[in-house]
Amino acid sequence: MQTENLFEQGQNCWRKSEAEFAALLIDCENFYRAIHNAICKARHSIFIIGWDIDSRIRLLRGDEERNSPWPSVISDLLARKAAENPQLNIYLLRWDSSLSFFTKRELLLKEVWDQKTPDNVHTWLDRSIPMGGCQHQKVIVVDDEVAFSGGMDIAVQRWDTRRHPVVEVEREDENGIYSPLHDVQCVMAGPVVGHFAELVRWRWDRVADVRSEPMRDIKRAPLDSPPPAWPEGVAPFFRRIPCAIARTIPFMDSVPPVQEVRHMFLDLIQSAEDFIYLENQFASRQEIAEALNARLKACKSLRVLIISTYRPKSTFECEAYWASRIDFKSILEDGVEKDRVQMLYSSAYDEEGNFAHKRIHSKVSVFDDKYLVVGSSNLSNRSMSLDTECDLIFAADNDIHRQQILYARNDLIGEHSGRSPERVGEILAEKRSFERLLKPAGKYAYRLNEVQDELFTDKSLQVVMQPFSDPEEPMLPPLPMLNGKRFFLGNPSRKLVLFGTLAGITVLMLGLAWLAHHFIPGFNTEDVRAFLEESRGTWWGLPAVCLVYVVAGIFFFPVTVLSVAVAAVFGPIMGPLYGICGALLSAALLFGAGHFLGLKGLRRLGGAKVRTIDEKFRRSGIIGVAAVRLLPIAPYSLVNLVAGISSISLLQFLGGTFLGMFPTMIAKGLVGDSLAQIFVDPSPLSVAYLIGGILAWVGIAILSQKLVNRYQRQKAA
């Protein structure tokens, strides 16, 4: 039977086709370089469909970045391409994310891209995935001539080289330093690109307000050379090889669900006779483990090698995927000889004694010398039913293709075990091959080790965590509609979650303040004033004022009311002096709290907009803070927290706070003292002082704001 006869459209694949040219892009350095070059060549259209499309990602590094005539940052590159060619249309479709990745991605992505790019760059967020699922397809199509598909995203903490050094200065971004990471993507040209062009347009047109441009009428006759959009420096690996596209599509609106990936995996397992190689981020779906175990028992010559990630990154990941991988491994190995099945991870030491595990993000499968799968699907429950996925399956139909598939497999195993592809082929042909493969190839080379997930979890939380992290079905059941159809609720948008959280925190703080005012003795205006009056004339007058300011700041109590009250108690001279000391102490403490939250990831939520505000803070420095204090656009305590999250220094912040508050604090001192005198002795003089204080307060604010605006205009000029 010819290999492509395994493909059944409508069952285990969406389309059968052929790739005139195809190549593997192993690890993100090669993928980013290839898409940078293809984008530079684009003339008509660019579609990017992804789990993430981060505007900050640098596609080139080192000398390539310094010497390139084109920008390296993806948003700058697309903005320039779009500006120089108004006829070029660029479509960016990204998943609208979920709570799991709240602090790891740009918050206002659509606004960021719209702000950075011309009108012919169209950006949309896909909210059509059922709650609990995600948009996991990673497809790029350039000019309907070249397509990229596989496991890689334009996202943070993805870039790495094939060498995967244990310590690499470029493996650091706004989310921090990250460990070596392995991934695989495929680039292709020929008839199969037409199907990917159809897929990305279907994805775009069903959710976006802007219709995509029609597919170009490209001659699909056999190509003698790669098309113009093919990335330079990428040598075609396969030539005229049959292939198929398999998808996972959950129920979305009125779209019927599709589980082609699941059926394809099961059919490919049943076809294997000699060797199954899987490298995958996760291995949690028991159905796959059962199918592999059954095939191992039915075909005594079959061996199975799985390479995955070793150390979990979070409690959710550990208790959902690592706990489930314990079950997966147990099912897989049940009743099978040890040298026929192995689940391994890759790690290395460097010459300085540093150690690292290589994180596997790829989704690659090789079945004998017949089939090579490069896709986005994990061996997980969600990838088989709930997420959107896209896998490309190459089928060898001649000896050259079979040799190429074996070479690709051995090349990947060699990267993880520190060996050449040729040496891996020799080892796999020997007896006790897995035992030999586990022996280190060199002192500082990567080596393979057996996974021991029991070190990370006792599975006590698996039942709780798995339904959230690796579900087969949406987290909320479908809602019946009047027309008899079903409707699935989607994931809440990130903006809705953020602003809902902020609103909830605000309501909570106001509620706590109200409860404190009514039920906590001493926490009301009268008792606070009485407390301050008791401290007047004593050594603890200043500490008492500072304490009141700190407590009031925590509960977002209006600082203006407090300043007037302090002046009324301590007079027009000592009142402002005590008040500014208390205000600065409160500001410093809340600034520290904001700085702590920023270190915990809150600063990244705003993406480019936070960085823009940050840059203005840095440029304006003390003057900028003073301007905010003179005409407050937000509550005093909130400004303190936000300043801590930003990158302005504490000394600059306190200096600006002093300059912005002290002049008005003096005016408030006159107002507060005059109010106190009016109640004691309502003379014309006290009324005049009150009116004068109010006018001085307003005048200082207006004059100071004019001076700040003039300073900023001069600095900008």
The answer as to whether 550 is a domain residue is yes
SS3 content of the chain, % helix, strand, coil (to 5): 50, 20, 35
Under a CB-based contact definition with an 8 Å cutoff, are residues 154 and 50 in contact?
A: yes
How many angstroms separate the CA atoms of 292 and 286, rounded? 10
Give me the mean pLDDT over the 374-389 stretch.
95
The answer as to whether 497 is a domain residue is no
In the prediction, which pLDDT does 676 show?
A: 42
User: Into how many domains does the chain fold?
Assistant: 2
Percentage of residues of the chain with pLDDT beyond 70:
73
The pLDDT-based confidence of 215 (bands split at 50, 70, 90) is confident
| Same structural domain, 131 and 276 | yes
**Which uninterrupted H or E stretch holds 673?**
helix 650-680
Ranking 23-27, 244-248, 588-592 by mean pLDDT, the lowest is 588-592
Under a CB-based contact definition with an 8 Å cutoff, are residues 396 and 402 in contact?
A: yes
Percentage of residues of the chain with pLDDT beyond 90:
52
pLDDT digits (tens, 9 = 90+) for 385-404: 999 999 999 999 999 999 99
Comparing 674 with 597, the larger pLDDT belongs to 597
How many angstroms separate the CA atoms of 132 and 387, rounded? 9
pLDDT of 706 strictly over 90? no
For the chain, what is the mean pLDDT?
82
In the prediction, which pLDDT does 504 show?
A: 65
Comparing 418 with 464, the larger pLDDT belongs to 418
Selection from 577, 656, 664, 601 nearest residue 623 by Cα: 656
Give me the mean pLDDT over the 426-434 stretch.
93
Under a CB-based contact definition with an 8 Å cutoff, are residues 142 and 37 in contact?
A: no
Q: How far is CA 286 from CA 292, 379, 381, 454, in A?
A: 10, 9, 8, 18
| Same structural domain, 533 and 415 | no
The answer as to whether 122 is a domain residue is yes
In the prediction, which pLDDT does 680 show?
A: 41
| Same structural domain, 305 and 423 | yes
| Same structural domain, 633 and 712 | yes
In the prediction, which pLDDT does 130 show?
A: 84
In the prediction, which pLDDT does 610 show?
A: 47
Comparing 433 with 608, the larger pLDDT belongs to 433
Ranking 120-134, 280-294, 386-400 by mean pLDDT, the lowest is 120-134
- DSSP 8-state code for residue 130: B
SS3 label, residue 278: strand
In the prediction, which pLDDT does 223 show?
A: 73
Ranking 42-56, 96-110, 157-171, 410-424 by mean pLDDT, the lowest is 96-110
| Same structural domain, 436 and 550 | no
The answer as to whether 327 is a domain residue is yes
The pLDDT-based confidence of 480 (bands split at 50, 70, 90) is low
Domain boundary among 455, 483, 509: 455
In the prediction, which pLDDT does 195 show?
A: 96
| Same structural domain, 407 and 529 | no
Comparing 584 with 342, the larger pLDDT belongs to 342
pLDDT digits (tens, 9 = 90+) for 188-206: 999 999 999 999 999 999 9
- For tokens 């082929």, what's the residue? 425
Ranking 118-127, 458-467, 487-496, 693-702 by mean pLDDT, the lowest is 693-702
| Same structural domain, 443 and 550 | no
| Same structural domain, 438 and 577 | no
How many angstroms separate the CA atoms of 329 and 309, rounded? 14
Give me the mean pLDDT over the 549-570 stretch.
71
The pLDDT-based confidence of 552 (bands split at 50, 70, 90) is confident
The pLDDT-based confidence of 621 (bands split at 50, 70, 90) is low
Specify the CATH number for the domain of residue 134.
3.30.870.10
The answer to whether the pTM exceeds 0.85 is no
| Same structural domain, 30 and 176 | yes
Selection from 600, 598, 629 nearest residue 611 by Cα: 598
Give me the mean pLDDT over the 513-535 stretch.
59
pLDDT digits (tens, 9 = 90+) for 647-659: 677 777 777 777 6
The answer as to whether 379 is a domain residue is yes
In the prediction, which pLDDT does 296 show?
A: 97
Comparing 641 with 431, the larger pLDDT belongs to 431
The answer as to whether 333 is a domain residue is yes
Under a CB-based contact definition with an 8 Å cutoff, are residues 661 and 653 in contact?
A: no
The answer as to whether 7 is a domain residue is no
Comparing 606 with 16, the larger pLDDT belongs to 16
At 307, the amino acid letter reads I
Selection from 50, 111, 48, 106 nearest residue 77 by Cα: 48
| Same structural domain, 308 and 180 | yes
pLDDT digits (tens, 9 = 90+) for 300-321: 999 999 999 998 888 878 888 9
pLDDT of 674 strictly over 60? no
- Give the residue numbers spanning the domain of 634: 524-716
How many angstroms separate the CA atoms of 94 and 99, rounded? 15
Ranking 30-34, 243-247, 322-326, 584-588 by mean pLDDT, the lowest is 584-588
The pLDDT-based confidence of 549 (bands split at 50, 70, 90) is confident
In the prediction, which pLDDT does 472 show?
A: 84
In the prediction, which pLDDT does 379 show?
A: 97
Comparing 588 with 559, the larger pLDDT belongs to 588
SS3 label, residue 390: strand
Under a CB-based contact definition with an 8 Å cutoff, are residues 364 and 470 in contact?
A: no
| Same structural domain, 449 and 561 | no
How many angstroms separate the CA atoms of 54 and 32, rounded? 13
pLDDT digits (tens, 9 = 90+) for 485-496: 666 666 666 666
Domain boundary among 455, 477, 495: 455
Domain boundary among 455, 470, 503: 455
The answer as to whether 316 is a domain residue is yes
pLDDT of 183 strictly over 60? yes
| Same structural domain, 408 and 556 | no
pLDDT of 72 strictly over 90? yes
In the prediction, which pLDDT does 681 show?
A: 45
